[in-house]
Amino acid sequence: MKKYIIAAAAGLVLTLAACGSTEVPGSTTQAPVSEIKEVSGSAEGFGGTITVTLRMQGEDIIEASILGNDESPEIGGKALSELEKQLVEKDGFDIDGVSGATYTSEGVRNAAKDALGLFLPEMEESTTEAAETTKK
């Protein structure tokens, strides 16, 4: 009878030991993939409202699209594709901009800040006033 109790106890110990870890030797644990979300923001550019939409994975910008239908097609309009690339490369609003399209670049910066929840309306007022002065 003693042998049966010892055998049962040994079997129980082995069973509990097997339940203690689910890790397979040599396997790696991966962190969960962050959900992709879209955020949008708007600000004034040279010709009118510029809207920036950012696709984000966690805190990283993985894609940017810009609508600026009222920007001058030859200058600001041409700069939009380059500014989209800069937003992704810089992973934020602190972009270099495009020479010759200063107000469009600043409008994109402010719209990206708005999308990220960092835009202050006072900043837009000073940019709009400067743009209006230049247009006159």
Which pTM was predicted? 0.65
Per-residue pLDDT tens digits for 106-120: 999 999 999 999 876
Determine the Cα–Cα distance for residues 20 and 3; give it in Å rounded to an integer.
Answer: 26
Give the pLDDT of residue 52: 97
CATH assignment of 36-124? 3.90.1010.20
Give the pLDDT of residue 34: 73
Q: How many angstroms separate the Cα of 5 from the Cα of each of 9, 16, 18?
A: 6, 16, 20
Averaged pLDDT of the chain: 79
Q: Any idea where the domains of the chain sit in the sequence?
A: 36-124
pLDDT at residue 2 greater than cutoff 80? no
pLDDT at residue 30 greater than cutoff 70? no
pLDDT at residue 75 greater than cutoff 60? yes
Handedness of CA 42, 114, 105, 77 (dihedral sign): negative
Q: Quick one: average pLDDT of 78-85?
A: 95
